[in-house]
Structure 1
Amino acid sequence: MKERVFFEEFDSLYYFHGSTQSWAMQGFHFHKQYEIILFLSDGALLEIGNRSYNVKAGDVFLLNNKEYHRTSGAVGKPHNRYVLMFDPEIFLAGCSETFGYEFDLFFERRPENFVHRLHLSEENLSKIEKLFLNIEREINEGEEKEEQVKLRLAILNLIVELNEMYRFFLKEQKDTSSENKIRKTEFKDPILYRNRIEQIKKYIVEHVNEKLELDDIAKEFYMNRYYLSHYFKKETGFTLQQYITNRKVVEAKAKLKSGYSVTEIAAQLSYNSDSHFIATFKKSTGITPKKYAQEKKKNSNNE
C-alpha cells in the first residue's frame, strides 16, 4: 500500500452512536485501542488493510490495534453506526486471568478462516444494540468508581456475546461443504508494524552518523512516538535507543579498526562529546574504544 498510514490519538475510551452524512476518512489510520463497529445502515465501505467490505445494516466488525483502516459512508445517505474504541491495556488488563476467558480472542488469536464482518440476524442485532446502549448509559452515568466498574463489565459483556456469535458463525462455516467454505484470510500487520519497522532499521543503518532522536524518526515515518517505541521493541526485542546504540557501536568498531581516533569517531557518529562516546562504547562492549583498538591491532600483528 502506497498511501500513508497515520497513527491517530484517542482517549482510552471512545464511544459514538449516531448518524453522519456523506462521511469519509481521508486516509488509513490506526490507534492503540481495539475497535468494535456496528453498522445500522447500508452503503458504507470499510477498508481494513488490503481488504474491503461493502457494508450492510447489521454488520459488526472487530478491529485490533495493529490493523490500519478507513471508512467511507455512501454519498448522499446517512451513515448510522455504533463505534466503541477501548484501550486493551486498561479495560482488559488482568481480565483473562481473573475470569479464565480469552476476551481478546477475536482481536488477537484469530483462526485462519476469520473474517472481520459478522452479519447479525434481527434477534442478535437487537441483543448487541442493547449491549451498546448499556455501555452508553454507563458512560453517561459519570466517572465515579462504581460507574467505571459497571462500564468495564458492560464492555466485557459485549465482547463475550460477540465472541460467542463469532464462534457459532465459524463452526457453521466449518460444517458446510468444502465448496462453500469461506476462503482463508491473510491477516497482514500494517506497514508500520513489520514492514515499517524493517524500513526504520534500514534508515538507522543508513543514517548512523547522525544524531537519530526518537521524535525525529517518528516524524520521518509519520508515526506516533509511543507506537513506534512499543512496536519496535515488540518486533526486534530492543528498544529503539538500544538498536541505535548497537548500530553506532558496530560502526565505531569498524572505524577503530581502520585507525580513526576516538575524537574523530565521536564527531563522525554525532556523539555529544568524547566522554559520551567512550561511556556508551564501554557500556555496550565492556571495554573502552582505545582498549578495543589496541586489542584489534595486537591481534592483527600476531596473524
Structure 2
Amino acid sequence: MKERVFFEEFDSLYYFHGSSQNWAMQGFHFHKQYEILLFLSDGALLEVGNRSYNVKTGDIFLLNNKEYHRTSGAVGKSHNRYVLMFDPELYLAGCTEVFGYEFDKFFEHRPENFVHRLNLSQENLKKVEKLFLNIEREINEGDDKAVQAKLRLSILNLIVELNEMYRFFLKEQKETNKAINSQETDFEFKDPILYRERIEQIKKYIVEHVNEKLELDDIAKEFFMNRYYLSHYFKKETGFTLQQYITNRKVVEAKAKLRSGYSVTDIAAQLSYNSDSHFIATFKKSTGITPKKYAQEKKNSNNE
C-alpha cells in the first residue's frame, strides 16, 4: 500500500518545546521550512524517506524542505522534544555572502550517504538545549526589529554549532576509514566516542615536539580536529587536560636537561617558554621545588 505524502503549510517560523503521548503523524509530510528536531526521550520513530531511526534521548536531526518524513511516539510514553522549523528564504537568505559561511551545508550540500542523526553527549546536549531556549525566549519577547534580529542571529548560532558537530564526526568517520552504507547499515554519529588511537597519536606528537611552544589551536589544526572536541576527548581518555599533559612532558624533559648540566636560561629557551621566570614558576608548580634546587639535589645525590 502506497504511503500518503502531503505538503503541509506552516508559518515561516514554527517552534515547539514540550511533550505528548500516543502521538503519530498519519502520513509522510514535507514543507517549505528547514527543520531541526531534538529528542529528549527514547522510543519515538522518525522516518525520513526510506530511512527509519529509532530515536534515543539526545538524538538531533536536520531535515531539508524536500525530504518527506513522519514522526510517531512510543505508545504510552511521553514524547519529549524540541522542534524548530524556519523558512530558509527568510532566515538564511544572504547569510552565506555576508558571513562567508555555508549555513545550509548539512541541509543542502551533504556528503554522500549522509546520516541525519547525531547523538549528543550530556555536555553537548546541554549546550544545544540552551541554544534552543535562547530562541524560545526571543520568540516570546515579541516581534519588534531588535528582537527579530536577535532571533535570527540565535538561529544562525544554533546552525553553526550543529554544523561543526556534524563536520567533526564526518571527518572522524572518514579518517578512520569506516564504511558507511546507507542501504545496509543503521550507522549513526555517536557522541562521545573515545578516539584512543587519535589521542595516542597526539601524545606521541607532544613528546616528539616537546621543545616547541605547543598551543591547543596548533595541535587541533595539525590533527584536523575541532579545538573543543580535542580538549574534551583528551581529558576523557587521559585524565589530564591537554595543557597539563604538555606541561608534564616539558617538566620531564627539563629534569633530564637539568641532570645533564644545562642552565635554567638554556632550558627555558630550548623548551620555548616565554621567559626564565615562566619556566621557573611552571616547574615549581609541578614539582614543588625550583629548577635550581632540583639540579642541586640531583648533583648532591650523585656525589654521595
- Give the deviation of 1:113 after TM superposition: 3.2
What amino acid is aligned across from residue 182 of structure 1 in structure 2? I
CA 1:156–1:45 in structure 2 vs 1: closer, same or farther (change >3 Å)? same
- Give the deviation of 1:94 after TM superposition: 0.5
- Give the deviation of 1:181 after TM superposition: 2.6
- Give the deviation of 1:172 after TM superposition: 1.2
- 2:143 aligned with 1:120, yes or no? no
Q: How does 1:129-148 map to 2 (within 5 A)?
A: 129-148=129-148
Q: Match for residue 101 of structure 2?
A: 101
The one-character-per-residue Cα deviations of 1:210-255 (angstroms, maximum 9, x if unpaired) are: xxxxxxxxxxxxxxxxxxxxxxxxxxxxxxxxxxxxxxxxxxxxxx
- Give the deviation of 1:4 after TM superposition: 2.1
Q: Match for residue 159 of structure 1?
A: 159
Is contact 1:114-1:185 (8 Å) kept?
no
Q: Match for residue 298 of structure 2?
A: none
Q: Match for residue 236 of structure 1?
A: none
User: TM-score under structure 2 normalisation?
Assistant: 0.59
Distance of 1:184 and 1:79 partners within structure 2: 26
Distance of 1:40 and 1:157 partners within structure 2: 21
Q: Match for residue 24 of structure 2?
A: 24
Q: How does 1:4-23 map to 2 (within 5 A)?
A: 4-23=4-23
- 2:180 aligned with 1:182, yes or no? yes
What amino acid is aligned across from residue 143 of structure 1 in structure 2? D
CA 1:185–1:97 in structure 2 vs 1: closer, same or farther (change >3 Å)? farther
More contact order relative to length (CA 8 Å, sep ≥ 6): 1
Q: Match for residue 172 of structure 1?
A: 172
- Give the deviation of 1:182 after TM superposition: 2.4
Distance of 2:85 and 2:40 partners within structure 1: 17
Q: Match for residue 111 of structure 2?
A: 111
Distance of 1:120 and 1:181 partners within structure 2: 21
1:131 is paired with a residue whose SS is: helix
Distance of 1:116 and 1:92 partners within structure 2: 20
1:3 is paired with a residue whose SS is: coil
- Identity across matched positions, percent: 84
CA 1:58–1:124 in structure 2 vs 1: closer, same or farther (change >3 Å)? same
Distance of 2:27 and 2:4 partners within structure 1: 7
2:157 is paired with a residue whose SS is: helix
Q: Match for residue 276 of structure 1?
A: none
Q: Match for residue 70 of structure 2?
A: 70
1:79 is paired with a residue whose SS is: strand
Distance of 1:53 and 1:26 partners within structure 2: 17
Distance of 1:136 and 1:156 partners within structure 2: 14
User: TM-score under structure 1 normalisation?
Assistant: 0.59
Distance of 1:68 and 1:130 partners within structure 2: 28
Q: How does 1:172-211 map to 2 (within 5 A)?
A: 172-177=172-177, 180-184=178-182
1:174 is paired with a residue whose SS is: helix
- Give the deviation of 1:185 after TM superposition: 6.6
- Give the deviation of 1:114 after TM superposition: 1.4
2:36 is paired with a residue whose SS is: strand
1:102 is paired with a residue whose SS is: coil
Distance of 1:60 and 1:4 partners within structure 2: 25
1:166 is paired with a residue whose SS is: helix
- Give the deviation of 1:2 after TM superposition: 1.8
Q: How does 1:193-272 map to 2 (within 5 A)?
A: none
The one-character-per-residue Cα deviations of 1:129-162 (angstroms, maximum 9, x if unpaired) are: 0000000010011001000000000000000000
Q: Match for residue 38 of structure 1?
A: 38
List structure 1 runs of 4+ shifted beyond 4 angstroms: none
What amino acid is aligned across from residue 55 of structure 1 in structure 2? V
Distance of 1:82 and 1:152 partners within structure 2: 17
CA 1:182–1:33 in structure 2 vs 1: closer, same or farther (change >3 Å)? same
RMSD: 1.4
What amino acid is aligned across from residue 90 of structure 1 in structure 2? L
Q: What are the ranges of 5 or more consecutive residues in structure 1 without an aligned counterpart? A: 187-303
Is contact 1:115-1:185 (8 Å) kept?
no
